[in-house]
């Protein structure tokens, strides 16, 4: 009866190296910072991209840096903002 898990986890500053922090920032920027769902959307999207670029391991930082710059310039609200704008246009199109 009860839970059989007896292991304890620990948070260590070594777990949060520069690469991990950069990935966290990219997830948030890609997803959008204005909502709860934005970073989750960014995590899902970038996880697919992360797996897709597995064969280009040496180029992955370049890809992620380029994505970060493009999103900051062209989609500052992230994917969440893009989804909301598309949804609003579709709703406005149905009203007319």
In 3D, which of 35, 15, 49, 48 has the Cα closest to residue 83?
Answer: 35
Number of domains in the chain: 1
3-state secondary structure of 12: coil
Is residue 13 one of the residues assigned to a domain? no
Asked if residue 2 has pLDDT above 60, the reply is no
pLDDT, tens digit, for every residue of 47-89? 999 999 999 989 988 999 999 999 999 999 999 999 999 999 9
Is residue 3 one of the residues assigned to a domain? no
Could you give the CA distance from residue 39 to residue 49 in angstroms, rounded to a whole number?
Answer: 15
Which structural domain, as residue segments, surrounds residue 46? 33-95
Is residue 70 one of the residues assigned to a domain? yes
What tokens appear for 31 in the block? 């997803």
Is residue 54 one of the residues assigned to a domain? yes
pLDDT reported for residue 8: 60
């Amino acid at each position: 009866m009860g839970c059989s898990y007896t292991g304890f986890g620990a948070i260590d500053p070594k777990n949060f190296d520069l690469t991990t922090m950069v990935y966290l920032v990219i997830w948030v920027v890609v997803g959008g910072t204005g909502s709860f769902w934005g970073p989750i959307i960014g995590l899902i999207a970038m996880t697919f991209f992360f797996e897709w670029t597995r064969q280009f391991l040496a180029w992955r930082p370049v890809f992620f840096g380029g994505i970060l710059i493009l999103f900051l310039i062209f989609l500052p609200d992230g994917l969440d903002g893009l989804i909301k704008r598309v949804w609003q246009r579709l709703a406005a199109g149905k009203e007319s």
